[in-house]
């Protein structure tokens, strides 16, 4: 098969890496791709939002299957456009992708079908939103309705922070049209969990769970980012809680979209909070997560291309999906200043050394001016993935590889997966006490 992957980030590098292992692949293309993807696929200079250009290229090269990575083209209807051109595509159509494209739509869907989520209200008027804000307890969560590259969610701990966040979104338009409507919702306490699922309508096949680290600094401090690291599995989370989340949130949401005439075919990504009242929905995304994909796909033992085709063809129930018992930890190396403004073009060294015992997925890279070395070209630059028999071993390998990579201004969190290690230690301590009492 000839396969075209659309996107340029770490998620698309991980998807390309996994699909490249399929014996069914004859030729891989990526539009536009990046420096790392170029080692696996032929990168073509077509932008993700150039639907006509992508369709024309796919026809010219007789592409058998197009895989869409990012959220923006999905929300804008790239799948509908390419299908109308007679192409086979992986990803949800525009009306189903609205579950990510509009937080207000998502919240209203969950309320209608009584799917657990935080209490909320939506506003299009800054004055009305501000008046409501002043009546609510702190901390509180303020979200731009539309897509904002993972940065349109602000957790405000003081009234001043809340008012400033609201003004930034609705008045100064920090996220453009995405901030014309806001969702203000209660702050949920607990551990976060990411559950991604292959979905072809009502059939849901959940992937191995992972946990993302959104704030830029250690101990979950600082502004939210697109994700500073992930790990999988979650050995400190009771499997019964994961099953509850599938039963009460993921499957009902897929069913609700069918009932609404918006059947979802693609990857449905549930961002969850494990509260004292059970799992609740923070958000839904309509595609593979970034950087969750970087730890989930290395644990997939089945052929990813086969699974994606089964989803697109509505026969997911026939798929044999197997997962490794191993662990994976991803640490994001970011540019100086991220998630704010950041420089580009800084030369990166040490990637080949890091790849001796880790996977290095390129997120924001490009060829340096010398045409040979790799340079920074984005906020999140690299995702360094360590793999091992357990979280501790995978984490050690990830950070050992991170230490070998250098570029000016690089920064990363040093506590990725620390919650898992603390949770495991607490479980072992409790079991030891219980054994001694017996």
Tens digit of each residue's pLDDT (9 = 90 or more) over 190-204: 989 999 999 999 999
Domain range for 157:
119-186
147 and 67 share one domain: no
**Could you read off the pLDDT of 282-299 as tens digits, one per residue?**
999 999 999 999 999 999
- What pLDDT is recorded for position 147? 87
Structural domain includes residue 427: no
261 and 130 share one domain: no
Among residues 143, 171, 186, which one ends one of the domains? 186
Average pLDDT over residues 296-325: 97
Structural domain includes residue 169: yes
87 and 227 share one domain: no
Among residues 136, 152, 186, which one ends one of the domains? 186
Structural domain includes residue 111: no
Q: Single out the residue of 103, 76, 102, 107 nearest to residue 91, CA to CA.
A: 76
Q: Are 215 and 221 in contact (CB under 8 A)?
A: yes
Q: What pLDDT band is residue 123 in, cutting at 50, 70 and 90? A: very high
What is the percent of the chain where pLDDT is above 90? 90
- How many separate domains does the chain show? 3
199 and 166 share one domain: no
140 and 242 share one domain: no
Q: How much is the pTM?
A: 0.93
Structural domain includes residue 241: yes
318 and 391 share one domain: yes
226 and 337 share one domain: yes
Q: Which two tokens stand for residue 196?
A: 């991604």
Residue 150 belongs to domain with CATH number: 3.30.1490.20
Q: Are 75 and 101 in contact (CB under 8 A)?
A: yes
- What pLDDT is recorded for position 384? 98
Q: Single out the residue of 291, 285, 268 nearest to residue 206, CA to CA.
A: 268
Structural domain includes residue 108: no
Residue 387 belongs to domain with CATH number: 3.30.470.20
Query: Is residue 165 predicted with pLDDT exceeding 80?
Result: yes
Structural domain includes residue 434: no
305 and 196 share one domain: yes
Whole-Å CA distances, 64 to 16, 45, 153: 15, 19, 38
- What pLDDT is recorded for position 292? 97
């Amino acid at each position: 098969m000839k396969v075209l992957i659309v996107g340029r980030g770490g998620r698309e590098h991980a998807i390309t890496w996994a699909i490249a292992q399929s014996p069914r692949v004859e030729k891989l293309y990526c539009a536009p791709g990046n420096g790392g993807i170029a080692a696996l696929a032929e990168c073509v200079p077509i932008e993700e939002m150039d639907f006509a250009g992508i369709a024309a290229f796919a026809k010219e090269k007789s592409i058998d299957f197009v895989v869409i990575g990012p959220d923006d083209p999905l929300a804008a209807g790239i799948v509908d456009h390419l299908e109308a051109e007679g192409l086979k595509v992986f990803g949800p159509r525009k009306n189903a992708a609205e579950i990510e494209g509009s937080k207000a739509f998502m919240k209203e869907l969950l309320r209608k079908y009584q799917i657990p989520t935080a209490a909320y209200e939506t506003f299009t008027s800054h004055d009305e939103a501000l008046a409501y804000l002043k009546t609510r307890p702190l901390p509180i969560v303020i979200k731009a309705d539309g897509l904002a590259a993972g940065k349109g969610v602000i957790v405000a701990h003081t009234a001043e922070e809340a008012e400033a966040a609201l003004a930034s979104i609705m008045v100064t338009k920090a996220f453009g049209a995405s901030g014309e409507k806001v969702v203000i919702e209660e702050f949920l306490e607990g551990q976060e969990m990411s559950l991604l699922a292959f979905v072809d309508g009502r059939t849901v096949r959940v992937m191995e769970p992972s946990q993302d680290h959104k704030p830029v600094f250690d101990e979950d401090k600082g502004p939210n980012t697109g994700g500073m690291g992930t790990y999988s599995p979650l050995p400190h989370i009771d499997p019964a809680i994961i099953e509850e989340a599938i039963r009460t949130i993921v499957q009902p949401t897929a069913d609700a979209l069918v009932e609404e005439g918006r059947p979802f075919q693609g990857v449905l990504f549930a961002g969850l909070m494990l509260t004292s009242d059970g799992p609740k929905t923070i958000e839904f995304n309509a595609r593979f997560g970034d950087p969750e994909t970087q730890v989930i796909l290395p644990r997939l033992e089945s052929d990813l291309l086969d699974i994606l085709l089964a989803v697109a063809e509505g026969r997911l129930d026939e798929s044999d999906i197997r997962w490794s018992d191993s662990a994976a930890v991803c640490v994001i190396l970011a540019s100086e200043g991220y998630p704010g403004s950041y420089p580009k073009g800084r030369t990166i060294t040490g990637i080949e050394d890091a790849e001796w015992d880790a996977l290095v997925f390129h997120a924001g890279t490009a060829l340096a001016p010398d045409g040979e070395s790799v340079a920074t070209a984005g906020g999140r630059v690299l995702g360094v993935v360590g793999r091992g028999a357990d979280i501790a071993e995978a984490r050690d390998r990830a950070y050992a590889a991170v230490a070998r990579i250098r570029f000016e201004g690089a920064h990363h969190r040093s506590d990725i997966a620390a919650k898992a290690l603390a949770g495991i230690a607490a479980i072992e301590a409790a079991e030891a006490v219980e054994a001694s009492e017996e």
